[in-house]
Amino acid sequence: MDANVFFKNVSKSYRVQKLLGPSKEFWALKDISFEAKQGETLGIIGANGAGKTTLLKLIANVTEPTSGEIEVSGRMIPLIELNAGFHSELSGRENIFLNASILGLPRREIKQKLDTIISFAGLEAFIDQPIKKYSSGMFARLGFSVAVHCDPEVLLIDEVLAVGDSDYQKMCIGKIKEFQKKGTIILFVSHSMQLVRELCSRVILLKKGEVACLGSPEEAASLYGSISNR
């Protein structure tokens, strides 16, 4: 069965508690419909609070929709919260085994890929240090390296490339392009219109939880620029 991500009329609301007075309903997403098929890289852009991360969390089954239908097929790997699946008191090496196991990789495969994961992350000198001593960039490199070596069929990326130097970003982009050639579905959240134009085949522009545009990277990025400048 081919990998697939399908949304039909999906909405998500939260109850927001005010300091004084009753709670208020907040709609993070409203009536979202799209489909991402095998081999597609779908960009998701919008201002802060537009609903981008909520959309990824719905795909990852971190939270459930208030209404609508979601179908996801294929081995899914989420890169949404960089420290998710890590234990601060454990070393980088121990956390590779922990995180990769959570993502569904058998221990035998983790052992086979261990050196490659460490090398890709560039953490050879720090891999046996507790990760509570890691910088945010080191966290990002470790999390990305573990995720991409778990052979995803659906890969969710939320601003991971915003952390790290240019060499690291080039390595990540190279890895993403490898997955594109393999037919991996990639859902890519970014504020970098340059990366969106380079990597994505289509783009969803969200505005206040609704789809303002679903089209080409150029069309969505241009509209995002006009919305942002208002």
Task: Quick: pLDDT tens for 36-84.
Answer: 999 999 999 999 999 999 999 999 999 999 999 999 999 999 887 656 6
Q: What is the pLDDT of residues 112-144, one digit of tens each?
A: 999 999 999 999 999 999 999 998 788 888 988
HSE (side-chain half, CA atoms, 13 Å) at 81: 8
Which pLDDT value is given to residue 54? 94
Pick the CATH number of 1-19+26-75+154-163+187-230 from 2.120.10.30, 3.40.50.300, 3.30.230.10, 3.40.1160.10: 3.40.50.300
- Domain positions in the chain: 1-19+26-75+154-163+187-230
Contacts of 185 (CB under 8 A, 6+ apart): 3, 4, 5, 36, 37, 38, 39, 40, 41, 42, 74, 153, 154, 155
Location of structure tokens 């709670």: 23
- Cα gap 162→189, rounded to integer Å: 10
Is the confidence at residue 94, as pLDDT, over 70?
yes
